[in-house]
Amino acid sequence: MSQPESSKSTFAPALGDMNKEEFRRFGHELIDWIADYFDRIDQLPVLAAIEPGDLKAELPTSPPEQGESMEMIIADVDRLIVPALTHWSHPSFFAYFATSTSAPGIFGELLSAAFDNKAMLWRTSPASTELEEVTLDWLRQMMGLDPGMTGIIYDTASVSSMHAIAAAREGVEQRIREDGMSGRTDLPLLRVYVSEHAHSSIEKGIITLGLGQKGMRKIPTDSAFRMDARALAAAIDEDKRSGFIPFCIVATVGTTSTSSIDPIREIIPIGEEHAMWLHVDAAYAGSAAVVPELRHILDGCERADSLVVNPHKWLFTPFDCSVLYTRHMDLLGRAFSLVPEYLRTPEQEKVRSGSDYGIQLGRRFRALKLWMVMRYFGHEGLAARIREHCRLAKLFASWVEESPDWELLAPTPFALVCFRACPKREGESDELRGKRLDVLNEAIMHGVNGTGKALFSHTKLNDKLTLRLSIGNIRTTEAHVRQVWDLMNQQLQLLK
């Protein structure tokens, strides 16, 4: 990374920031670069084709003493960074939950970086504070959520859910904020109930809050991977008899492995009977409620205490942007508000300040990108894109169903298909068949992913290695879905 003579003019000045002309020039160049990146992304391998340590080996181990030219930095993005990227923006990215950014979202991020607001108090960022309130109320309306729900933005669903559980714990009135939990003999075990398919972030939140892994009880699921409400009621009764305090249920709309939907309407009365907080993890599938004919997936949530939805998952908003809705902002505030003298402001009683509702002081201006995405696509535009993803997933599922060599392993309520290859072999025992299919499906997945033309991931359902195809990228078309299906079938023919 030595500095060529010719690029001297683009080095940082002795003091101050890059000059205006160079900012303009490189700014335009980078936007062109991004436009070209999206144009050629189909030709790039979805999964980074590098070995662990390859990038580190290319990078200097100590920082540059003198500044380097922008040309060299941008050239190194091309030379070093792009080959080390797994391209989440690739239209054949079908792994985990496929997500995507969008042009208005990128512009929102760009502006937010320029404004660099720390939206901790209303006064440090009135625009961020008020735009967040308005945008989240728009999203609430789009999703058909109850008007009693107020939203707040965090970075991720993991953090949103942790805050929801903290607010629920505050509602237990056990002086935990004041006295803590350790060293207390007067505090029974507090418990949160989740299905065995709940996301691991809930358990992490519970650990972080000092409730301990014993503070979480996993409830079994039915044949469609939905929380068994009767088992939930029985577990709560049993724990109460043991002297525990059951205080929170976390139900999921759109579980990570299969996108199953817990039976919210059956869970609601159980929580209400025991005055427990119901948090709904709709991080992935909540966005689907903007599609009018899918709004029913949140049936019952009008009585939930909180709900998380991630616009960075399926609302074309660049990572990160997670929204927590709750009808108990007061409890969230009681759990987290702490205003030292240096943050006191004359208007504090009249306005909302984001830092009163979470662990962070400074907060990014994330509402801007979401507002720009919502305005640019509109409710109908967002719904049309999500509807199309669901159509493509159902189409893929129909190909699986029609083929004797493949089978579906879970329902497809949204845009995630769970399936596996299952070619028959005469006279094989169930046990041998199970083992053979696990090995075969894993090999198919690595075979297709190794081509660089598509990327998908797996889970385990009923002890079977299960392939997951998630459709959520704004650029994914039927041709991309057809291509990955063809690639899977080619691998199957090679391997079976």
* Residues engaged in binding ligand PLP (CB under 6 A): 97, 156-158, 199, 201, 252, 254-256, 281, 283-284, 310, 322
Q: Which residue has the tokens 């094989």?
A: 428
The nearest distance, CB 319 to ligand PLP, in angstroms, is 8
Query: Any idea what DSSP says for residue 12?
Result: P
Tokens of 439: 């090995």
Q: Which is nearer to ligand PLP, 264 or 283 (CB)?
A: 283
Q: Which is nearer to ligand PLP, 239 or 281 (CB)?
A: 281
Q: Which is nearer to ligand PLP, 140 or 279 (CB)?
A: 279
φ/ψ of residue 297, rounded to 5: -65, -20
26 token code pair: 């490189």
Nearest to 311 by CA among 33, 37, 85, 109: 109
Kindly tell me which of 92 and 322 has the beta carbon lying closer to ligand PLP. Answer: 322
226: left (phi over 0), alpha (psi -120 to 50) or beta: beta
- The 10 Å Cβ neighbour count of residue 38 is 16
Q: Rounded to the nearest whole angstrom, what is the least distance from the CB of residue 152 to ligand PLP in the complex?
A: 15
Give whichever of 226 and 453 is closer to ligand PLP, judged by the CB atom. 226
Closest CB 225 distance from ligand PLP, rounded Å: 12
**Distance between CA atoms of residues 55 and 82, nearest Å:** 10
- From the number of C-beta atoms within 10 Å of its C-beta (0-12, 13-18, 19+), residue 128 rates as buried
Number of helices (H), then strands (E), belonging to the chain: the values are: 15, 11
Q: Between residues 416 and 422, which has the closer beta carbon with respect to ligand PLP?
A: 416
Question: Among 415, 419, 429, 385, which residue's Cα sits nearest to residue 489?
Answer: 419
Give me the least distance between CB of 202 and ligand PLP, in Å please: 8
Q: Give yes or no for a contact between 283 and 322, defined as CB atoms under 8 angstroms apart.
A: yes
Reading the block at residue 455, the tokens are 């990327």
Minimum distance from CB of 359 to ligand PLP (Å)? 14
- Smallest gap from residue 253 Cβ to ligand PLP (A): 8
The least distance separating ligand PLP from the CB of residue 284, rounded to whole angstroms, comes to 5
Of the pair 102, 158, the CB lying nearest ligand PLP is at 158
